[in-house]
A and B are shown apart, each in its own frame.
Chain A
Amino acid sequence: MRDDKSLSGESGEIRSIVERAQKGDKEAFGIIVERFQKMVCAVARQISGNVDDAEDIAQEVFLRAYRSLPLLRDPSSFRTWLLRITRNVSLNWLRDHKPLQTMSKDTVDALEGKRDGQTLSTVMEAVWRLPEEYRSVVALRALGGLSYAEISEALGISLDTVKVRLHRARKMLRVLLGDILSRRK
């Protein structure tokens, strides 16, 4: 999931691609979509609580990003900016649709990694059960690969709030998942 996190080391390259896209270069924007689509899908999936529509949400995220790209002042903060859009679009989706708390059979089949015969969807489902403010910080940190400062910027909250929310989220997750993860050890 964090394969594109390695891009942080290539910020210069991303910056130049984003700048090209800002000038209307669709090919450059295509490269951006290609590179960030997995990350956007994962964050959308985790925040919206929907596996099946995550790719539709991701498409909407990229379309909105393209429209708003001229307003992006600092191309080097593109990842943070894109994830902020992802979160907003996912929450809009959540507002307009009933969240899917169950998965389709295809999804479950895809998730079943046959680790001791257990479904691997457990952590994902546990994160879904967190309140939205906790779910978002976990998704942006674990799946978006954002630093605390970047999460703070993306969500418009203080650094201390980010620390507190992440810590509380993990404590809640431990209550939900503790035994299961221990069993898998």
Chain B
Amino acid sequence: MRCEKYETLLSQLADGELSTGQELEVHRHISSCPECRTFYEWILRAEELLRFEHSRLPLRTDITSEVLRRLSRRRRRVGLLVSVSVLCLIVSLIFFLLRGGSLVVEVVTGTGAEVSRTGIRWRKPGAGDAVPVGWTVRSGNSTLVLRGCGVTLELREGSELRLNLLRDADVKVSLKSGSLLASVEELARCRVETPIASVWSSDGKFLLRLSGEVPSFSFLPCAYAGEEARLVVDVLRGQVTVRKGGSVRAVVAGSRAVVSFSVAGVYVKAFSELAGQKWDEFRENRLNFWRQMQVYLDGLELFAQAIELWSYGTPRSELLSLSRERRGRALNGMRRLYAKERQIAVALDEFLELQKKVEE
């Protein structure tokens, strides 16, 4: 019974992992217990012999030279790979620029939809078809949904539009007749510098230009050809009416927007002042948010590397927990930002109330 207590400590004594007090105690025991002393000496001897056996095996190759040689060869291979990749990228870019991009038709319901170009009639679009730039899309007697470049366009029955794709999320749509619903999704794809989204609208035509990164941001503009254009920005929980021939510029801040009208300039100044005051505060918060997001993205990147490097020796659990920690920090940042944005929303609501009273 007494030996059982010391048995597990013998290994630690042999490895020098005991405290001085414990060492003395175990030494006292083995000096009086032949069985434990034998086991202790056996451990030392076995490990010494194991090391001796390995040391007797000569290295048959010059590992250092071989490793350095393989590293140089790998670098040359990587260099070649990079060159080929760059070449492919350039070819793809040239091809893209010449082609000008396209939208993919995701859903076609009903009948009569067709895609055409002046003098050329294309076949009827089916799910998964690509609609090239400069072509006109007619919905026929059905609703046609086009999705691509982060934008979804829902072409209502009897509508016709002409597509002109710019880069990424820039889509210029000329509505010839009928009505159109457009929503912007997958904004994470858009690379943007400032959280600003602008919408210009005039009757029958509009241009969506997203120059801001705004993962929580989306809007749903709706235009009716030949009529007074009406723009609904649903995250704003408000509506802006643009009279025929007018234009509107919307700067979106979080869940609210600052809107200026070319035909209603009387309100622009007061609106802008409040916006400017709140904007500074918002902007600071937004910057903090993106810093947090960067941490999150770093975490994701690290996680991606982990997948590759897993077999290289970094424990998966360690990387996963690191990623979780960083993700947690980013989420907290987002929550704080959301709270700030709500404050701004309340302030803007108060302003709108005030504005209404002034109008009255």
Question: Chain A residues in contact with chain B, CB under 8 A?
Answer: 1-2, 26, 29-30, 33-34, 37-38, 41-42, 45-46, 51, 55, 58-59, 62-68, 71, 81, 84-89, 92, 107, 110-111, 113, 120-124, 127, 138, 141-143, 147-148, 156, 163-164, 166-167, 170, 173-174, 177-178, 181
Contacts and interface: CB of A to CB of B under 8 A. Distances in A.
Contacts of B311: 64, 88-89, 92
A142 B42 contact: no
Contacts of B51: 1-2, 42, 142-143
Interface string B10-24: 111001010000000
Contacts of B12: 148, 163
A34 B68 CA distance: 11
B64 A174 contact: no
Tell me if B's interface is mostly helix, strand, loop or mixed: helix
Contact of B53 (A62, A64, A123): A123
B64 A41 contact: no
A58 B63 contact: yes
A69 to B, nearest CB: 10
Given A59-B70, A67-B312, A123-B53, 11 more contacts: A42-B51, A46-B54, A59-B61, A63-B67, A63-B71, A65-B313, A68-B314, A86-B313, A110-B58, A123-B50, A143-B54
A173 B70 CA distance: 39
A177 B71 CA distance: 42
Interface residues of B, number: 43
A42 B54 contact: yes
Interface in B307-328: 309, 311-315, 317-318
Interface string B293-314: 0000000000001000101111
Interface in B53-80: 53-61, 63-64, 66-68, 70-71, 74
Interface in B228-268: none
Nearest to B14: A170
B59 A148 contact: no
Contacts of A120: 49, 52-53, 56
Contacts of A177: 46
B56 A88 contact: no
A148 B17 contact: yes
Contacts of B46: 123, 170, 173-174, 177, 181
B57 A107 contact: yes
A151 to B, nearest CB: 10
Contact of A113 (B43, B56, B305, B317): B56
